[in-house]
Amino acid sequence: MEPKATKALEEIVEHVAANPSGNSVDFNRALIALFYIHKDDAFVDRMAREFLQGKHRGPGVDRHILVTIAVFRNTPEFDAAVMAFNPMSYEYALNEVQGSSVEKWGAQLAHVPVSIVPPLPPAKP
C-alpha cells in the first residue's frame, strides 16, 4: 500500500496535468518530492514518458522539470524521446544534470512537501 503522502502528491500532479487552470508551482513541488524524496520512480517516469508522447501539455505542467528528469534517467528510450521532442531542450537539460545534484534543479527543495498533513485545529485561547 502506498503511503498517503505519496498518493496525495500523485493526485496533485495528475490534477494539475489534467486541469487547464493548474498551478505550475504545485506541479513542480509535488513532482520533485515524488522524484527526490519519495523515490516514486514508476509514477514520475510515467508522467515524463506521457509528456514526451504529447500528453499533459496544460499550462501548469512544468515542461522543464519533466525533460530534466527524462535526461537524468539517461536511458536510450528517454534520450530518444527528448531529442524527438526538442533537441535544444535535450542539450540544455543534459548540461544541467551533468555534474549537478537534484537539489540545484528548478525547485527549491526547502519548499517541497515531505508529507501531507491535515490542517491543525485552531489554537485554544
Q: Give the chain as a DSSP string.
A: ---HHHHHHHHHHHHHHH-TT--HHHHHHHHHIIIIIS--HHHHHHHHHHHHTT---STTS-HHHHHHHHHHH--HHHHHHHHHH-HHHHHHHHHHHTT--GGGSSS-GGGS-S---PPPPPPP-
pLDDT of residue 55: 92
pLDDT of residue 109: 53
Report, as ranges of residue numbers, the positions in the chain whose pLDDT lies below 70.
1-2, 103-125
The whole-angstrom separation of Cα 95 and Cα 42 is 25
pLDDT of residue 117: 46
The whole-angstrom separation of Cα 83 and Cα 52 is 10
pLDDT of residue 42: 96
pLDDT of residue 69: 92
| Cα separations in angstroms, 97 against 22, 79, 100 | 27, 13, 5
Alpha carbons within 13 angstroms on the beta-carbon side of residue 88 total 0
The whole-angstrom separation of Cα 57 and Cα 24 is 11
What residue type is 120 in one-letter code? Answer: L
